[in-house]
Structure 1
Amino acid sequence: MKVYLKIILLIFTICSCFNYRDNTTRTQKSTTVIHTDSISYYLGQSKIDSLELKRRVLSAEKAYLLSTKVNIDTLTRKSLKQILKTSYKYGDRSIFFKYYPKSISFSKIKNDTALRASTHNYVAYFYLRNDDMDSAYHHFYNGSKFYKHLRDSFSTGKMLANMAIIQKNRGDYVGSESVCAEALSYLSNTTNRRYLASVYNNIGIISNELMKYNKALSYHNEAYNIRKELKDNILIIQSLNNISVVYKRAGNYAKAIKTLDTLTYNEDTFIDNQRDKARIIDNLSHARLLQGDKDLKILRKLEEALFIREKEKDISGLIVSLLNIADYYKVVGQENIANEYAIKARELSKRQGNYRDILNSLKFLSLSSTIDQTPFIKAYYKLADSLELEKNNVSDHFALIRYESDTKEEEINKAIKKAKIQQRKIKEKTTLNILLVIVVILVLFTIFLLRRSSRTKEKLYKEFNHRTRNNLKNIIHSIYRTKKKHSGSSEILNDVEGITQSQLLIYSILEKQADSFHVDLKDYLQELFRAIIGQHQDINLDINYQMDTFKIEAERASIIGLICNEYMTNAYKYAFSEKKNNTFTTYLKKETRYKVLLILETSGVKWTPEILINNGSGLKIISSLADKIDSKLNIRYDDKTGKTILSLQYK
């Protein structure tokens, strides 16, 4: 009997289990149906244009979160794509950067090339809108690879066109033209001709920059003809403006004016395109100015363009307007006002990092006849040289981005496989405790690093001072040896030795004290003069020091030391004599908190600044050094006292 009861109980238990499983399956199916309906609803909400963009983004996010619960790939794919699309439009950086890695990861796991290409497309445009050109280029390149795999000619051409524009804007004209040629091979077979016109336009701009004006006009006209077919007025206007710019740069001002003359009367076109209106007004007025029209109306039009650009916060256009107004004032003979506008353009270009317009501003100021041209000429050639080097490196930069994108692909695939394994392990662990421990460790480690970094920086600076000091000592020893071997060059070597000695003293003082950035100017100058006088023991010198004690920056003290060394070197050459009563007096006065006055007086043989000018570059060196610390320098001979006086006042 007991055996039968056990068998009946076992059968009942098994039936109960099957029944429970059935109920669970039915419940899961019911839940899936409910979630699927909800996902469809939220996806529908995210696509309604009349709804607020923020609400659409949140609806797409809810659809994704529900889709991950029911594990339906199609819905997950749609949700991710809609999140990227809506958050891109809304400009929600936090949501966009939260979900685009999820989209790339999902597309790789599911081998979904279309989603992967689409994700790179959205990410590239997001970075482009936020002026992160390297990241945008990286994603345009990746997008082009996946669209090629899908044989989507239009999307491939569009990605390549954007890559070419970025390269052109960074000055890689050869690389950009090469990518344009590839883009044309894809876009020429598509029905969408808007991007085809953009590629022609880009080649036109490149050719203009390279001064290939006929080629530039040819491609700009190709773009213009396509845009006329598309009947897109603003693109037509942009093409005509580009054509006008080519004529203007080529010196054909009449054609530049004729190209734009009719556009200024069509005001309705510019209601929503004020930047283009400003370009037309500015370009047309400047062309008329270059043709010889000095009428006040030209200035008013240039100022109108400037006003629009200020209102639109069009910084690049604003710089162009300032330079063109500067051109006007220069043409009408008001160079002081012209210089003011050119200086404004230069400062604005500096803040923007717009090196081309910095060069244009410096070139304008270098040709001015009412100001000292020297600093502007030096700055112009220095920047031009550095930009030439940058131009040579920029093509390698884009090649490196493409190379890194290709080589990292395999590493990312391996990482995905590892991630799948780790996901199972992570679920089995108590991640919350681990995260809390990590956070505590990171906080403590950050505090440790912050404390250590300041000490490390100080140690590094002291080590640098120590090594520099040793190097300077080695240089002086080399000078001693050379002087013994070549007695004929001793005067030159004495000058070099003095300069080196002045710098060695700075680093010796810095090495001995705790503060590695400031020196006591009085102590430094006394040590310096003692070293210089020690090199000329054959000449008697009555020395008088009247100096205040205070500290200044080591860099500034170094320059003052070089000035004093140069002055004393020339004093020993021209002022001091074995047959005369020679005197040397130093006054160092801290007049106010921010003003310091240094006076050096020497007497002996009559010695005037003209001697410095006529016998080498001593005065030029002293003046150049004084300019570096923004100081007022004066060297004169006082007939009453018979002394040569150097005064140096700085803030």
Structure 2
Amino acid sequence: MKILFYSLVLLIPLGLDAQIFEVSANRKYREVFVDTDKFGVEYLDVLENSLLNMKDKTLRLKILNDLGYYYHTRNLKKSLAFINQGLEEALDLENLYWEGKFQVSQGAVLLRMEELDSAEEALRSAMGKIPEEESWLLYTNLGYVYERRGDLSKAFEIAGESLQRAEEHQDSKGRAMAYSDLSNLFWKQGKFEKGLEYGLKALELFKKRGIKDLDYDFTFHVVGNNLIALGRYDEALDYFNASVEIGEKYGFYNNLSDTFIALADLYMELNQFVQAQQSANAALKYARLLENDFMIMRSFLALGKLQNTLGEFDNALEYLLECIEVAKSDFGDKFYLAHAYKALSKSYEGKGDLPESYEAFKIFHHLQEEVFNAEAGQRLAMLQTEMDVAQKEATINIQQARLDQQKTLQVFILILFAVLIFFLAVLYRVFLRKKSYSELLEKQNKEKEFLLKEIHHRVKNNMEIISSLLSLQTAQIENDSLQNIMIESQNRVHSMGLIHQNLYLGENMAAIEMKKYFLNLGQYVLETFGASERIKINCVMDALDLDIDRAIPIGLIVNELLTNALKYAFPENKIGEIDISMKESGGSLLLKVADNGIGMHVDGQISGTGFGSQLIGLLCRQLEGKMHLIQEGGTQVFFEFHIQHAA
């Protein structure tokens, strides 16, 4: 079955095991029981509702075929209606491929409605219309037609052909189905060991696919039948329970009826007659829901056999006569019809009606001979031998192909190894050249780094000389205002010198770690003003590296703010604290300098000559930043610099 990924086709009903229809831009149509089996029992209703708004004609054909084929597990008449509608639309579109697909589905349904001739006609008409690699379902159902007719040799032959096609096209699903059909046919022939072998092969292939579908479910049933015949009842029960679990999950009424019939036989073998009665009743319930006379007939047969076992021969006769009535004279499956007359013979014998028992047994014997006559037995044996030989030849061919592949692989590996050695040799030579070049570059880089550090060292030394000259000049000035100006200038020079000192002393020649820089700068300014004992500088921030073009102006700004705070925020030797922090946030640098001093004048201007304020303004504009003042419990100055413009 296939499931549509189609935009807004329908609403998903609550309680589904998985969504069947989903929105998808490419409108991909996924195959259920091929791509996935994560669906609940309502998936056919959901699929049917999708037809109401379906405009894509090819997509309609896909959905109609899926509805037709998978409804045959629940309602044969409804199934056939969908198939006939789809076949009519395919003919109108002159779509030969979909005409063939619908004829295969039609054959599968007609087969289960016991219209065997019509089923064969539909299936044979589909031949040549669908690709051979997709023909496994066609041949599977054609084999069922001959099996129902009692022609097991022909059914066996078709199953063998189906297996051969599947192997040619490396179709794992087709191989699994062929093995499953052969397992069922071997069981009917009484070759239970062989039937079990092929059934387990089929299950192994189904499990590798990872999809629990209708045919996987049926194969559990077939394996269970063979295990019952071999007397391995506990194992058979496990396989039947697995079949029931899948059947109930997806609503596979046909398989459920089939498996409950087998469970009734199993419980009779175990003398668990209550469970046998319950299983037979369940089989009849699902057969009636399906309206399948074949399954109804077999359910009555199971009930009749149970009553025979219990010695209730009148009840047995009632069930068995109804079983034969449902089968009618044109009933195709002589295998089960023979079993019905055998059970009927036993019922008459139990009642003491020997003439009727004898007549029923004669019919049983006649039907048995039609199914298992000497000619059919010889043909089956010959077909089995041919298939075994073909399988062995296929195995030999596969082994030979593997040997050829190994030889080819060995040659390829040798060539690859030679190419690899050559490539490694070339790489080694390149590596040696690269190593030599890298060593040269490393040497040059070290020389450049040394020269760069030396430059920063000399700049720092020059800054220190200027600072010292300013200090000497300050000592000769008696005017306090001029002396303060000289001290401030000395601090500014020192703040820039610290930048170069950090560069030549640090490992990173391109950036300065600002937290360490702020602490060193603050300590120097405190010592300059002799305020180390009463003023504490806090620098609460994470390590942050800045390039020299941003570090110098920011360092000067902080120097001015520290100087201003020490001069005016803490008069009369007051004790206080100054906080410095900086961080990156949203593409900006956020700088904060705050003190807990007496605050600024009411006009919001920094005290002093005004040069420091002008300098801060100029540096802020250079960095394309913004400054904010807050005067609460001291003075707080905030700066925001855009990183992308701060170079």
Fold match by TM threshold 0.5: no
Instruction: Give the TM-score normalised by the residue count of structure 2.
Output: 0.41
Structure number with higher helix proportion: 1
